[in-house]
Structure 1
């Protein structure tokens, strides 16, 4: 790797000699007089063709400007223009502006900021990265709220992953949890830059609270190194803007879908220092699974206060509550995937619904020390809970007969996080050091009880269920009340009931991070040197099971701008994942380590209206737990544990996983008013080392070798045409060579082809849209696995397939009124 970086560095350095003319750069940030970000403002050098437009963070950058004295002109509709004289030599001049509102223009003109619909130039402040995306040596994709609205996605699992190369969702529990994977590993959920990862949660975020979703490919040490090497996804919630972006949305659709959402955004005080944002949503949804339903509501208030021009504090609370008849929307059949009709329901209308909820409180502090340096701090508290039951089967006969059992499903998770960071630039001659330092602290405690209750729930004897069995091909519903277990939640707390099983966890970590992005050669060459030291403690049920890890994770990146809008990058970074448990001798397991090597190209096209990223990567994951099949180890364990099971299930860290692939992402406005999302990924994720040599070379469960997605949106904007305001939209998803959820056998899922299409109409403050999902009404599976027959199953039982259907063809209609 070092050799490759050195070669690339020398090639780029040699190429830079072609630029003999002395040039410099100008950059800065534009705000209004009340501190509001000024996006879409034109910044030009008077009398020249050099210029830029401020992005969503109010920042601008003008590069490769010949040395000299210039007049910098800043202007926008609704704002009084300003001029400033600057002298530019080799290096960078920083020039910020604060513009006053021109009320006469504001009264007469509707301001158009030129906001990009699908393309984003910078990540949110919650990711701490200060440079534009095209300069960051990593593949990061951002899904905007406009794109989410165009696709009529109502939550994070509602097809949002289609907008990011190689990213999929594994279905589970009626889509209550995201289970998002990329680059061959499941990636954790972040919310505003803070880790929300839990064994089952958090609940998938509702679209009413989402401003954008950021997908970071790779270990992402600048956020947190203790996680999977595939990356993270970061939900950025809506904050007050000080502008009138309020709206009301009503939606309806197939399977008895009804939804209402309110977004209120405004000022509490006239001076704009105290702002608020309130998002409310309520949704009632039936299911293609017979009898099932899913209802929820969301409450999300936010208040921000601008103490002075440099200091902002924000308080945010989000509450979600979900009620579902059954969380288990699985199908089971003896002969293969997709054998049953999608309407099959493993639950029963006689059972009580499950209830899930989460409470998330976050406090933010942001302070600008000067034009270059700022400090940020935030703390978060999340409380997630589940109370209900889950229906499953113990075994299956060849004719489809099963005996359902009903078990308690209860969980409690408390997640506490704190972050503090400082960042800014130090200029030394022609070199800029862009520093970032931070401290992350977190504690996650979870308790779960998924105990089997009074086991069998036998239906009434009917012609379709003789002897009380339930047949998956001819299901008969209606369990007598006397046969339904009643769970007692009050005798013992979930904490005490969870203490004796594997669902009790306690993980505490503290991480210290330091990064220096060295910007040289007129900021065309950027070298990133960074590292994170993490101390993590996993508390087990016995002293021997407690694990304390001290891990250093380096990060080395190189990015070079061949042209202003074209860069090449390389990256090496690491991750680690604490592992609880112990081997046959009672020794604690080492953390799982991940290494990522990545190379890529980034290009902005057509004056920055759309972007393309091409990336290649290789991830190696070491110390993976696998079954310990060594008879010597088993015998030794029995000697040390004479009261243990006759055939103990031991584990050993001999596993290794390798994942490599290529990713292509294109996003932006291809031609005027025609926006595009297009991506493709090749992922080769396999078991490369294991104690069970027979599975070496098998694909990683739930990985997909070929994925491509596309989405087009076009709106007619010609006031002379009767089509003015009319829009067309549509997209596709294709997944080929899909692997089921087991690495013991190489089992394939059916190929995935989905097509969607819609129309919309906008006029003034009103928008009406309709969309048909799964236009061809194909039987699509979001996951699948196979359970082989075991010795403990009845003699006449067989192995069976387990799988989850995606929603069949369905339509949605949305009416939005905007208070602008």
Structure 2
């Protein structure tokens, strides 16, 4: 059960908002199969590696909605306790869902061309189908197929070279074709075409102290067509729905660096930084709903000597500001929704009770940081998860 809140807030009184209560249920299932064969082979007196395989993914999502039997009277945003719990019908009046199938064969090989040089080549053949349907309980035997799209035999190759500079450093370059289906729809309810493009990457990797410390850095350029960007909000069966449009000629440039390893006995550390900027053919920045800069730092320490089996760790997640592409103003005076940069901290503890039994405790958003995870989609903001705690026990056999 949820409530859509729309309108513009009077900061003094908290009035001015309207509410649309909604009660929906969903049944989401995903099934994945992956068969592969891999191993070494000899050719021209040298040892090489090869992999061949097939994988398949099926995603099913069924949803139903119960209508509200009562309206929400005007209320102050500062007095949520005064909002009565909505009353909903006992039966659903609308049912909808979708099914997405993807499958493909893939193969790849790494050829040891010469002592410092390796060549990597591969390809994938993809097939997919996506169907969306809706119906009322009275017309259950004849659902309306709103979307029915598919494609098959799409080939996406990739190639790369790796050069071992010395015992510590290696460099690489790669070129990969991009083909990704997308389920976003335009304002007319039509499915957007798949994303096509190429990804170019050049990088440097390093290994030190018998691979206890690893370093990597890379620069990349991604060229894409049919990239989904938010368009206008449309109303579908009484519910708001974000529509999208395809942006051609989107070019993303960026770089990233990672450092990971065991800095001292029992202490594992990871640090990563990514910078990316996406622009269209006119040089205008797009996809600003995603941050341009991100930093991830995690560490853990195993108390093997004092508390055998006990590990304590945590992490920090920082990202730069996000706001809608093209700076769409949605406020009463054209205000632009914006989430400034923020940092979220996490903490976890793990205890290895036995060789087979492990207990874990995770605290996400340790300091209960209040932030928007997304802005500008549906002309709404979506809050990030507040502080939450989870515990689990795992048995391996």
| TM-score after normalising by structure 2 | 0.69
Q: Equivalent residues in 2 for 1:309-388 (5 A)?
A: 326=1, 332=6, 334-335=8-9, 347=21, 351=23, 353-358=24-29, 360=31, 362=33, 364=35, 366=37, 376-378=52-54, 380=56, 382=58, 384-388=60-64
**Contact persistence 1:742–1:786 (CA under 8 A):** no
Q: Which has the higher helix share?
A: 1
Question: How many residue pairs get matched?
Answer: 350
Deviation at 1:778, TM superposition (A): 1.7
CA distance in 1, matches of 2:341, 2:371: 8
CA distance in 2, matches of 1:365, 1:598: 26
Q: Is residue 2:372 matched to residue 1:781?
A: yes
Partner of 2:256: 663
Change over 3 Å in CA distance of 1:366–1:487 after alignment to 2 = same
**Contact persistence 1:368–1:374 (CA under 8 A):** yes
CA distance in 1, matches of 2:392, 2:290: 34
Change over 3 Å in CA distance of 1:779–1:346 after alignment to 2 = farther
**Contact persistence 1:626–1:655 (CA under 8 A):** no
Q: Which moved more, 1:747-756 or 1:592-601?
A: 592-601
Secondary structure of residue in 2 paired with 1:444: strand
CA distance in 2, matches of 1:605, 1:713: 20
Deviation at 1:570, TM superposition (A): 3.2
Partner of 2:151: 508
CA distance in 1, matches of 2:58, 2:166: 45
Partner of 2:320: 736
**Contact persistence 1:384–1:414 (CA under 8 A):** yes
Structure 1 gap ranges (5+): 1-325, 452-485, 514-531, 533-554, 581-588, 629-650, 690-695, 788-800
Partner of 2:173: 570
- For residues 284-334 of structure 1, the C-alpha deviation after alignment (integer angstroms, 9 at most, x for no partner) is xxxxxxxxxxxxxxxxxxxxxxxxxxxxxxxxxxxxxxxxxx4x6866562
**Contact persistence 1:385–1:411 (CA under 8 A):** yes
Deviation at 1:663, TM superposition (A): 1.1
Change over 3 Å in CA distance of 1:374–1:662 after alignment to 2 = closer
Q: Which of these two proteins has the greater Rg computed from alpha carbons? A: 1
Deviation at 1:594, TM superposition (A): 2.8
Change over 3 Å in CA distance of 1:672–1:818 after alignment to 2 = same
Structure 1 residue aligned with 2:385, among 807, 810, 813?
807
**Contact persistence 2:301–2:311 (CA under 8 A):** yes
Deviation at 1:713, TM superposition (A): 0.6
Change over 3 Å in CA distance of 1:335–1:707 after alignment to 2 = farther
Q: Equivalent residues in 2 for 1:595-606 (5 A)?
A: 595-606=198-209
Structure 2 residue aligned with 1:717, among 304, 307, 315?
304
Q: Is residue 2:140 matched to residue 1:490?
A: yes
Q: Equivalent residues in 2 for 1:206-605 (5 A)?
A: 326=1, 332=6, 334-335=8-9, 347=21, 351=23, 353-358=24-29, 360=31, 362=33, 364=35, 366=37, 376-378=52-54, 380=56, 382=58, 384-389=60-65, 408-419=94-105, 421=107, 423=109, 425=111, 436=121, 438=123, 440-449=125-134, 487-488=137-138, 490-493=140-143, 497-498=144-145, 501=146, 504-512=147-155, 532=157, 555=158, 557-575=160-178, 593-605=196-208
**Contact persistence 1:439–1:510 (CA under 8 A):** no
CA distance in 2, matches of 1:672, 1:595: 42
CA distance in 2, matches of 1:661, 1:411: 37
Change over 3 Å in CA distance of 1:417–1:667 after alignment to 2 = same
CA distance in 2, matches of 1:609, 1:592: 39
Structure 2 residue aligned with 1:673, among 261, 266, 279?
266
- For residues 717-771 of structure 1, the C-alpha deviation after alignment (integer angstroms, 9 at most, x for no partner) is 11xx4x4443321111111222247754564224332112233433434544333
Change over 3 Å in CA distance of 1:432–1:668 after alignment to 2 = closer
Deviation at 1:436, TM superposition (A): 4.9
Change over 3 Å in CA distance of 1:379–1:432 after alignment to 2 = same
Q: Equivalent residues in 2 for 1:62-81 (5 A)?
A: none
**Contact persistence 2:252–2:279 (CA under 8 A):** yes
Change over 3 Å in CA distance of 1:738–1:432 after alignment to 2 = closer
Partner of 2:278: 685
Deviation at 1:592, TM superposition (A): 5.5
**Contact persistence 1:740–1:783 (CA under 8 A):** no
CA distance in 2, matches of 1:578, 1:816: 35
CA distance in 2, matches of 1:662, 1:434: 23
**Contact persistence 2:121–2:159 (CA under 8 A):** no
Secondary structure of residue in 2 paired with 1:775: coil
Deviation at 1:673, TM superposition (A): 1.0
**Contact persistence 1:767–1:816 (CA under 8 A):** yes
**Contact persistence 2:311–2:349 (CA under 8 A):** yes
Superposition RMSD in Å: 4.7
Deviation at 1:492, TM superposition (A): 1.3
CA distance in 2, matches of 1:377, 1:510: 16
Partner of 2:234: none
Q: Is residue 2:339 matched to residue 1:761?
A: no
Change over 3 Å in CA distance of 1:359–1:707 after alignment to 2 = closer
**Contact persistence 1:333–1:802 (CA under 8 A):** no
Change over 3 Å in CA distance of 1:492–1:616 after alignment to 2 = same
Q: Which has the higher strand share?
A: 2
Secondary structure of residue in 2 paired with 1:704: coil
Secondary structure of residue in 1 paired with 2:320: strand
Deviation at 1:590, TM superposition (A): 8.9
**Contact persistence 1:330–1:804 (CA under 8 A):** no
CA distance in 2, matches of 1:714, 1:671: 9
Change over 3 Å in CA distance of 1:438–1:407 after alignment to 2 = same
CA distance in 1, matches of 2:60, 2:193: 29
Deviation at 1:803, TM superposition (A): 2.0
**Contact persistence 1:700–1:743 (CA under 8 A):** no
**Contact persistence 1:594–1:620 (CA under 8 A):** yes
